[in-house]
């Protein structure tokens, strides 16, 4: 019995050992399978990590590319603005240069026009001077001829004056104007006064030859007052200054030696 019992126990031990081995093998298998699953999981996680990293890298590259494109567009816009500014500045500079040149040309043209005007005025002045010199020469010749033709009585009446003159022969209640032999009353009309003044100012000298009957409170006093007042008014207004003289003449003495030599005043 004892020997049989020992064999049974041995068999049980062997069986238990077998079971233990199977269990160990199962555990080992489980562990091996677990390790493979773990490595597979790690590999999967690593792959997902790589994909995530790749995705992040692509997104980062895309972001950088977008920023670069935006910056490039901004830089291009700034370059265009700078170019426009440069063109505007260049246009302003060109306009300023042209404006300065235009002002210089205008100044030059004005200067030339002023010179032309001065030359024109100078030529006109020379021509006028030559004309005046000619007229003066002719006047001097006429005065010399007139002076040469004056009688001693006329020279005594005129003194140093040698030009043309108007002779007012004052008689009783009127006066006779020479040349012209016109008679004018002591109270002449305005038209007569203006005609006589024009004749006197054109000649440049008036000589009063007074007969005894034409002296005080008669034609001499009346006409002299009117004529002298009008001549003074003309001179104040810038008109020609007229010479004057007065000479008494006897009632019987001829006026012929006192008459102006020219037929026209």
Nearest Cα neighbor of 170 from 226, 201, 215, 203 is: 215
pTM, 2 dp: 0.46
Rounded to 10 degrees, the C-alpha dihedral 137/140/146/151 comes to -150
pLDDT at 168: 93
Nearest Cα neighbor of 208 from 141, 158, 159 is: 158
Q: What is the pLDDT of residues 10-40, one digit of tens each?
A: 566 666 677 777 777 776 666 666 666 677 7
pLDDT at 129: 78
| Distance from C-alpha of 240 to C-alpha of 202, rounded to nearest angstrom | 9
- Tokens linked to 196: 């006589």
Q: What is the pLDDT of residues 141-165, one digit of tens each?
A: 665 555 556 788 888 888 888 888 9
Find out whether 243 and 205 touch, Cβ atoms under 8 Å: yes
pLDDT at 150: 76
| Distance from C-alpha of 27 to C-alpha of 20, rounded to nearest angstrom | 10
Q: Which of the given ranges, 88-97, 123-132, 152-161, 218-227, has the highest pLDDT on average?
A: 218-227
Rounded to an integer, the average pLDDT of 196-200 is 91
Is a pLDDT exceeding 90 seen at residue 263?
no
User: Pick the residue with more confidence: 8 or 179?
Assistant: 179
| Distance from C-alpha of 256 to C-alpha of 137, rounded to nearest angstrom | 28
SS3 labels along the chain? CHHHHHHHHHHHHHHHHHHHHHHHHHHHHHHHHHHHHHHHHHHHHHHHHHHHHHHHHHHHHHHHHHHHHHHHHHHHHHHHHHHHHHHHHHHHHHHHHHHHHHHHHHHHHHHHHHHHHHHHHHHHHHHHHHHHHHHHHHHHHHHHHHHHHCCHHHHHHHCCCCCCCEEEEEECCEEEEECCCEEEECCCCHHHHHHHHHHHHHHCEEEEEECHHHCCCCHHHHHHHHHHHHHHHHHHCCCCCCEEEEEECCCCCCCHHHCCCCCCC
pLDDT at 177: 92
Q: What is the pLDDT of residues 112-124, one digit of tens each?
A: 888 888 888 888 8
Return the minimum-mean-pLDDT range out of 17-21, 33-37, 228-232, 250-254. Answer: 33-37
Pairing type for strands 243-248 and 205-210 reads parallel
pLDDT at 265: 42
Rounded to an integer, the average pLDDT of 243-255 is 89
pLDDT at 108: 83
């Amino acid at each position: 019995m004892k020997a049989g019992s020992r064999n049974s126990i041995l068999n049980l031990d062997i069986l238990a050992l077998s079971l233990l081995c199977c269990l160990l093998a199962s555990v080992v298998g489980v562990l091996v399978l677990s390790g493979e699953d773990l490595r597979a999981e790690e590999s999967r996680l690593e792959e997902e990590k790589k994909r995530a990293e790749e995705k992040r890298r692509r997104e980062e590259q895309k972001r950088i590319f977008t920023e670069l494109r935006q910056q490039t567009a901004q830089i291009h816009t700034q370059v265009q603005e700078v170019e426009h500014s440069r063109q505007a500045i260049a246009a302003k500079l060109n306009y300023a240069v042209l404006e300065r040149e235009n002002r210089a040309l205008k100044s030059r043209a004005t200067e030339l026009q002023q010179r032309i005007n001065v030359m024109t005025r100078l030529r006109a002045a020379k021509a006028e001077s030559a004309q005046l010199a000619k007229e003066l020469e002719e006047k001097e010749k006429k005065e010399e001829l007139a002076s040469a033709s004056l009688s001693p009585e006329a020279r005594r009446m005129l003194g140093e004056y040698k030009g043309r003159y108007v002779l007012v022969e004052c008689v009783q209640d009127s006066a006779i104007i020479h040349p012209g032999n016109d008679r004018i009353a002591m109270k002449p009309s305005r038209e007569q006064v203006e005609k006589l003044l024009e004749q006197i100012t054109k000649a440049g000298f008036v000589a009063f030859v007074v007969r005894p009957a034409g002296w005080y409170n008669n034609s001499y006093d009346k006409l002299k007052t009117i004529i002298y007042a009008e001549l003074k008014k003309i001179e104040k207004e810038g008109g020609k200054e007229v010479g004057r003289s007065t000479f008494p003449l006897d009632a019987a003495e001829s006026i012929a030696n006192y008459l102006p030599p020219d037929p026209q005043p």
